[in-house]
Amino acid sequence: MQTEAPSRNETQGQNGGASKDGTGLKERIHGLETAQAVQVATQAGMTATAAATQVGNMAVMAVGSVSLIVGMFLGLAISRSHS
């Protein structure tokens, strides 16, 4: 069963959607621009967060590796000083 698409007047509402000066259309365009700007900002934030997380993980691994090596040499030095 197919339904008919609503006519132009039905989709634009009671007042025709836009007045003669196009305010309704301008409001819709402004709303779309705002939504698009929010999407772009959200994606930029997600990318920055992912990059910062990756850098943080690499820093933790580097510090852990250095600490392990320093601990090994410190343990060797302490064990040699007690012998």
Written as one letter, the residue type at 39 is Q
Residue 2 lies in a domain: no
Structural domain range at position 67: 35-83
In a domain? residue 73: yes
| Residue 49 domain flag | yes
In-domain check, residue 69: yes
pLDDT over 90 (residue 10): no
Asked if the structure places residue 66 within a domain, the reply is yes
pLDDT digits (tens, 9 = 90+) for 18-75: 556 678 899 999 999 999 999 999 999 999 999 999 999 999 999 999 999 999 999 9
DSSP string, 16-80: TSS-TT-HHHHHHHHHHHHHHHHHHHHHHHHHHHHHHHHHHHHHHHHHHHHHHHHHHHHHHHHHH
Q: Work out how many domains the chain is built from and give that number.
A: 1
Task: Please indicate whether residue 60 or residue 14 has the higher confidence score (pLDDT).
Answer: 60
- pLDDT above 60 (res 5): no
Q: Is residue 71 part of a domain?
A: yes
- 3 within some domain: no
